[in-house]
Chains A and B, each alone.
Chain A
Amino acid sequence: GAGVSQSPRYKVAKRGQDVALRCDPISGHVSLFWYQQALGQGPEFLTYFQNEAQLDKSGLPSDRFFAERPEGSVSTLKIQRTQQEDSAVYLCASSLGPGLAGVIPKETQYFGPGTRLLVL
């Protein structure tokens, strides 16, 4: 079946511009995560949704970062007034989520291809 998809794959923004990154999770996946991956580093957690509820936003680096998932499927990560330090790959992941037992652990996250953001 279709995996997690993200768009755009690449984004170049001038410092101060607002950007919006989209994530389409695997159909039926309750949980959705956003991570930020700097060059040569491991992904770092930004925020977590269970359906439409944002249950954890402890990883968002500043109030310029905002995420939403209004209908419990597609999610958008918005960065306002972009800065050069925002340059990174933004990864989205989805998982079956809590309460759905099965052979595959419900914690297993499936990642999208990422959006590479470059702020000039």
Chain B
Amino acid sequence: GENVEQHPSTLSVQEGDSAVIKCTYSDSASNYFPWYKQELGKRPQLIIDIRSNVGEKKDQRIAVTLNKTAKHFSLHITETQPEDSAVYFCAASRPGTYKYIFGTGTRLKVLA
């Protein structure tokens, strides 16, 4: 069935360093890939997304890259700050169904 794998499960970085989270999806028909940030006890918040007709997208310190051939997509956070500490989820969806298949999450800790 449809599956999204996410690595690593936990990631600790020093403030100011970069963080990279990677996801792999199984359904080659997937065409939309959002990333959500979820703080403890809060709702998932969309931070960036990418569609399958684009290879890279940036928004200030956050970027997402997509390799359709390998079915990989990655989240890049530069100049990390303590407030970036949270759990990050990747997801994939395909046309017609619209439901998201989520990864298992990455707990990011930014150490001051």
A contact set with B: CB distance below 8 Å:
4, 31, 33, 35, 40-45, 48, 56, 59, 91, 95, 97-98, 105, 107-114
* B25 on interface, CB distance cutoff 8 Å: no
Residue of A nearest to B51 (CB): A105
CB distance from A120 to the nearest CB of B (A): 20
Contact between B100 and A43, CB atoms less than 8 A apart? yes
Check B97–A42 contact: CB distance below 8 A: no
Q: How far is the CA of A113 from the CA of B100 in the complex (A)?
A: 17
Which A residues touch B61, using CB under 8 A?
none
* Min C-beta distance of A110 to chain B, whole Å: 7
Residues of the B chain whose Cβ atoms lie less than 8 Å from the Cβ of A91: 43-44
Nearest A-chain residue to B33, judged by Cβ: A107
A42 contacts B98, CB within 8 Å? no
Whether the pair A33, B99 counts as a contact (CB closer than 8 A) is yes
B residues bordering A, Cβ < 8 Å? 6, 32, 34, 36, 42-46, 49, 51, 89, 91, 93, 97-105
Residues of chain B lying within 8 A (CB to CB) of residue A114: 43
Residues in A neighbouring B97, C-beta threshold 8 A:
48, 56
**A56 vs B98: C-alpha distance when bound (angstroms):** 10
Alpha-carbon gap, A31 to B98, bound state (A): 9
Chain B interface SS verdict (over half):
strand
Residues of B within 8 A of A95 (CB): 98
A119 to B24, CA, bound (A): 34
- Asked whether A41 lies within 8 Å of B49 as measured between CB atoms, the reply is no
A93 to B97, CA, bound (A): 14
Query: Besides A35-B102, A42-B102, A45-B100, 12 other CB < 8 A contacts?
Result: A35-B100, A43-B44, A45-B99, A48-B98, A91-B44, A105-B49, A109-B34, A109-B100, A110-B46, A111-B36, A111-B43, A113-B42
CA distance A38 to B93 in the complex (A): 21
Tell me if B105 and A41 are in contact (CB < 8 A): yes
Q: Report the separation of the CA atoms of residues A79 and B100 in the bound assembly, to the nearest whole angstrom.
A: 22
A44 x B102 contact (CB < 8 A) = yes
Complex: A25 Cα to B77 Cα, angstroms: 30
A contact residues around B49 at 8 Å (CB): 105, 108
Q: In chain A, what residue has the closest Cβ to B104?
A: A42
